[in-house]
Amino acid sequence: MGKALESSDYDFYFTRLSYESGDWEVDERMPANVLNSLIEYTSLRVDLQERIVPLSDPAMLTAPFCYMAGHRLVQFNQQERENFKRYVKNGGFVFVDDCNHDIDGMFARTFEAQMADIFGPQALQKIPDDHPLYSAFFEFDGPPRTSVELNGWGDDLVHDYLKAIQVNGRIGVLYSNKDLGCEWDYDFRNKRWLKIDNTRFAVNIVVYAMTAYMRLPIRKKVLETLNQQQLQGILAR
C-alpha cells in the first residue's frame, strides 16, 4: 500500500480505481484493447499491464491517468474522498464511465451526488463539441455514438455530450453516461471486423490527459514519428 506507481520505462500505464461501495471490476477486456490502440497509433511507451489500485491507496496519486466505472452505488469512504479530491485538484485525470447507460440509474445518481458534495453543485458541466478533447488526436465533432446507445440498452437515449469537472482550464474528471467501456470491451484482434475502429476516441481521451500531464504536444510528436503507411491508414479511417 502506498507504493508509487511511476516508472521511467513507460509514458503511460492504465490505472483502474477500485472502490469499496460498488462493482468496479467491469469491462475486463477494455484496457487491453485501448492499450493496443495506443501502441498502434501513437509513439507513447505503453505498459501492457493494467494496474488496479484502490482509490483509498495514496499510490493512485502518482498515476497520470485513472479509470473508474461501475453499475451500482458510488459512496466514497473518507480516504477515498480525500484522495479523489487531492488527485483532481493537483492535476490528475479521471475518466469515469457509467456502465448502466442511464442518467437516472444508481451509478449516475450517486456518482454525480459525490462530485457535487466534493467539488460543488455546479462543478460537473457538459463540455462543448469544440472542446480540445475532441481534436486531441483524431478529429471528432462531439462524442461518437455507440452501439449501446443504438440498441435500446439503459435509458434508450443517445447521450450526445460528455460532462467534466475542470480545474484551471483543463479537465480533471471526464464523465460519460455512454457506457464507452462496454463499447470497447472486446478482444483487440476483432477490430479487423469494424469498418471504423471505435477505440479511436479512447486514444483522444488518453492523449488529452497525457498532454496535460507530460506538458508535451503529443499529437505532433506522434504524427511525426508515424511512417507513411501508418499515417495513410489513419487518414483513411
- Compute CA distances 131 → 14, 135, 215, whole Å: 23, 8, 18
- Residue 114 pLDDT class (50, 70, 90 cuts): very high
User: Where is average pLDDT lowest: 11-20, 32-41, 200-209, 227-236?
Assistant: 227-236
Sequence-ordered strand ranges (E) for 4-74 = 15-18, 51-54, 66-70
Distance CA 85, CA 87 (A): 5
What is the pLDDT at residue 71? 87
What is the pLDDT at residue 52? 95
**Element (DSSP H or E) covering residue 167:** strand 163-167
Mapped onto helix, strand or coil, the DSSP state of residue 63 is coil
Q: Amino acid identity, residue 142?
A: G
Instruction: Give the pLDDT confidence of 173-229 residue by residue, as tens digits.
Output: 999 988 888 888 766 666 655 667 888 999 999 999 998 766 544 443 344 444 444
157 pLDDT above the threshold of 80: no
Q: Is the domain 15-235 a CATH 2.60.34.10 member?
A: no
Instruction: Give the pLDDT confidence of 44-102 residue by residue, as tens digits.
Output: 899 999 999 999 999 999 998 999 998 889 999 999 999 999 999 999 999 999 987 77
Distance CA 67, CA 31 (A): 9
138 pLDDT above the threshold of 70: yes
- Residue 104 pLDDT class (50, 70, 90 cuts): confident
- pTM listed for this prediction: 0.84
Question: Average pLDDT for residues 224-236, to the nearest whole number?
Answer: 44
Domain locations in the chain?
Answer: 15-235
Choice between 121 and 178, residue whose per-residue pLDDT is larger: 121
Greatest C-alpha distance within the chain:
51
Closest C-alpha among 117, 182, 193 to residue 150: 182
Instruction: Give the pLDDT confidence of 170-186 residue by residue, as tens digits.
Output: 999 999 988 888 888 76
